[in-house]
Amino acid sequence: MNTIPRVVLRLASVLILASTPALTFAAEENLFDEYRQMMADDNPAQLAEMQGEEYWKTAGGPKKQTLQGCDLGLGPGKTQGAYAVLPRFFADAGRVMDLETRLIWCMTTIQGRDPAELSGKAFSKQGQPTTDLEGLTTWIAGQSRDRVLAVPVDQPQVRAAFEEGKRLFFYRAGPYDFSCASCHSQSGKRIRLTSLPNLTTHDGAVSAYTTWPTYRVSQGAARTMQWRMVDCARQQRLPELIVGSPVTVSLLTYLAASANGGKMAAPGLKR
Amino acid sequence: MFRRWTCVMAATLGVAFVVPLQAEGVADSFRAKGQAKLDRLDQTDMQRICSGPVGMTVPDDVRARLQKTATDSVKFPAADRFLGKWEAGQKIAQTGTGMQSSDDPAVPSGGNCYACHQMAPTEMSYGTLGPSLAGYGKQRGQSEAMLKYTWTRIWNPQAHMPCSHMPRFGDAGILTEEQIRDVMAFLFDPASPVNK
Amino acid sequence: MGSPMKIRAAIKDGRTEVKVLISHPMETGLRKDSEGKAVPAHYITEVVARHNERVVLSAIWGPAVSQNPFVQFQFAGGAPGDTVSVAWKDNQGDTRSDQLTLA
């Protein structure tokens, strides 16, 4: 056979990174940047995107409806650029919503699915397939790639959510006295070997917010901003933060609006 | 627990009213899970005062009050036995679990010191939120004053630095007295990797 | 039946470059879950790629390949309208096949 001149298999080279403790931190960060660049065209988050796009266009739920009638803020069925202008106020729901909260609302009202189940089983566990919500979120965020983030802070409800999110960001509680700010209010710091973005600065907020949803190589899964909020609360030693709850929306409004002007680059690729 | 009064006030005045986000309350956004119950959202006096934005200032009298409360909370070990086994302390410094909703409450908590501090110079995976503690005991010796100071910093860091980001490992019951002795030995023992 | 693969292919200078992203957990059988129980082995054992009916890549895989594997290869030839198909089999008897038409 005059075939197969070249076969490239890219294996989990991140494991190799993790097993070289003698490298300096800076060198290791650069190595991961290199890995990220190498994988840029082939980010496994694309698998989640494919699943999400298919879900969006396929009739489902007890009411056998597609989500193409779902209004993400730019009109029913419009996904292009929608993520870059979320969270926003939705008059039909009477509250500010981020993408995931809005998707749960659409899946509930349009498709008749159970909101408690959608919120309670929003994220895939290790080795489990991508959930519908993860797929949809990753795909729709990808439809805003290269868009400039413009959360409508001129909406008074969004402004109120922003102020509440800012207050919550500094809210210390629990046996460890942690707030979001405990880890995310200083620049150039890291926890163990992981860089911590300073979310109180514009640059820090941009670098964090514009690269989520992201494929987490260590978890083999596409992870979303709601997942990030819920898992940070767990690490803060707080009770379980409910997916789509007002606290998640306020925190995401604060974070997203702080990153306004940044260019969306999701889905990203992270350790 | 937050701003519920907004809701009550508006209702009392009979104003047509969409429930604003703030009025729904923080606790409504959480559910109890494992050992993490909803009372963890209630703030202590210190937590409330220390929840200001970056660059916040605390008035001198409030600062003094926080410091006194923290100082009074410190329990020194019986018979001035400050130092345990550094090997056990090293393990505690490396362990990041404890008190999360996902953790087994029967398993002792770790101290997770490496999340924020450099300790043994041979360990490359350390955080930088706190100062480096490499060579801690070698540089400072084991005077009673130094042992007491360090014990206090671990038991309740607010005694020396009100609104410190560091957890109150003794005061909040994260580590036991025995575990703190082991962490102390990890910092002070000349044989500990911290001092190599 | 497994989840869909993402296949891309481009004809360039008489060759066709194919990139395939496969959705698969690739469990080694050595990992334990949060309760300490071993997670059963679940990995792809065989991958075959065809240009129309002709086999252009055939690979035997094992548990050392990462989750959601990525495969990139080239073959000589390929014209608009031809099909490129990729199929895999795993150790639990599951299979999946996807194809695209070259543009």
Whether residue B24 is predicted with pLDDT greater than 50 in this model: the reply is no
Q: Do C73 and A7 touch (CB under 8 A)?
A: yes
| Distance spanning both ends of chain C, measured CA to CA | 27
C25–A220 C-beta distance less than 8 A: yes
Residue C67 within any structural domain of the chain: yes
pTM score:
0.86
φ, ψ for residue A8, nearest 5 deg: -115, 125
SS3 A41: helix
Mean pLDDT, chain B, rounded, equals: 89
When CB atoms are compared, the residue of A3, A7, A11 closest to C65 is A11
Q: Tell me if A36 is assigned to some domain.
A: no
Query: pLDDT (tens digit, 9 = 90+) per residue, A162-184?
Result: 999 999 999 999 999 999 999 99
CA atoms of B91 and A46, how far apart (whole Å): 40
What is the pLDDT confidence band of residue A97, given thresholds at 50, 70 and 90?
very high
Say if B30 is an interface residue toward chain A (CB within 8 Å): yes
Residues of chain B with Cβ-Cβ distance to A192 below 8 Å are 114-115, 125-127
Q: What is the mean pLDDT of chain A?
A: 89
| pLDDT at position A25 over 60 | no
Between positions 41 and 70 of B, the ones with CB within 8 A of A are 41-43, 46-48, 50-54
Pairing of the two strands A194-195 and C54-60: unpaired
Beta strands A268-270 and A214-216 are parallel
pLDDT of residue A36: 74
Q: Per the CB < 8 Å rule, is C70 touching A127? A: no
Instruction: In whole angstroms, give the CA distance from residue A160 to residue B6.
Output: 13
Does residue A59 sit within a domain? yes
Q: What is the ipTM of this complex?
A: 0.87
Q: Of the candidates C13, C33, C4, C24, which has an alpha carbon nearest to the alpha carbon of residue C65? A: C24
**DSSP conformation letters of B13-28:** HT------GGGG-SGG
User: Which structural domain range is residue A211 located in?
Assistant: 43-270
| Min Cα–Cα distance to chain A from B106, Å | 16
How many independent structural domains does chain A possess?
A: 1
Mean pLDDT of chain C: 93
CA dist., res. B115 & res. B98, Å (int): 13
Mean pLDDT, residues A124-146 taken together: 93
Listed by start position, the domains of chain B span 4-62, 69-195
**If DSSP codes are grouped into helix, strand and coil, which group holds residue A214?**
strand
Of A1, A126, A129, the CB nearest to C3: A129
Token readout for B96 is 């990041």
List the subunits that have 3+ CB pairs under 8 angstroms with C: A
Reduced to 3 states, what is the DSSP secondary structure of residue A221? strand
pLDDT at B17: 37
CB pairs under 8 A between A and B: 136
Whether residue A31 is contained in a domain is answered as: no
> Which numeric CATH code is attached to B69-195?
1.10.760.10
Query: Do the domain assignments include residue A195?
Result: yes
Query: Between the CA of residue B62 and those of B48, B66, B156, C19, C41, what are the distances in Å?
Result: 12, 6, 17, 63, 59
- Nearest residue of chain B to residue A176 (CA atoms): B167
Q: How many Å lie between the alpha carbon of B118 and the closest alpha carbon of chain A?
A: 9
Assess if residue C1 is contained within a domain: no
Does a structural domain hold residue A21?
A: no
Domain count, chain C: 1
Give B111's Cβ-side CA count (13 Å radius). 28
* Average pLDDT score over residue span B173-188: 98
Kindly compute the dihedral angle of the four CA atoms of residues C51, C54, C56, C59, in this order, to the nearest 10 degrees. Answer: 120
Percent of chain B with pLDDT over 70: 88
- Whether residue A206 is contained in a domain is answered as yes
Domain residue limits at C41: 6-101
Q: Do C3 and A47 touch (CB under 8 A)?
A: yes
What's the CATH code of the domain at A166? Answer: 1.10.760.10
Task: Give the rounded percent of residues in chain A with a pLDDT score beyond 70.
Answer: 87
Lowest mean pLDDT among A68-77, A143-152, C66-75: C66-75
DSSP H helical ranges for chain B: 4-13, 45-49, 60-73, 86-94, 136-140, 144-155, 177-188
Task: Indicate the burial class of A67 (C-beta count within 10 angstroms; 0-12, 13-18, 19 or more).
Answer: buried
Q: In the numeric block, which tokens belong to residue A214?
A: 């992201």
pLDDT tens for C35-71 read 889 999 999 999 999 999 999 999 999 999 988 899 9
Beta bridge partners of C42: C27
pLDDT (0 to 100) of residue B97: 96
Q: What is the pLDDT of residue A33?
A: 74
Q: Which residues of C touch A18 (CB under 8 A)?
A: none
Q: What is the CATH number of the domain that holds C30?
A: 2.60.40.10
Handedness of CA A33, A35, A40, A43 (dihedral sign): negative
- Indicate yes or no: CB of A177 within 8 angstroms of CB of B21: no
Contact: C65, A9; criterion CB under 8 Å: yes
DSSP B33: B
| Residue whose entry in the numeric block shows the structure tokens 């206090």 | B152
Q: Would the CA dihedral through C19, A13, A31, A129 be positive or negative?
A: positive
**Is A25 part of any domain?**
no
Asked if residues A111 and A63 have their Cβ atoms less than 8 Å apart, the reply is yes
The answer, yes or no, to whether residue A29 has pLDDT greater than 80, is no
Ordered alpha helix ranges (H), chain A: 13-18, 25-38, 45-57, 99-109, 115-120, 132-142, 156-169, 180-184, 202-209, 225-235, 246-258
Among A42, A49, A219, pick the best mutation site for testing chain C contact (most C Cβ within 10 A): A42
Q: Which residues contact A115 (CB under 8 A, 6 or more apart)?
A: A104, A105, A108
pLDDT single digits (tens) A210-257:
999 999 988 889 999 999 999 999 999 999 999 999 999 999 999 999
CB A172 within 8 A of CB B155: no
> What's the N-to-C CA distance of chain B in angstroms?
50
Residue C65 in tokens: 């390949």
Is A70 a residue of the active site? Answer: no
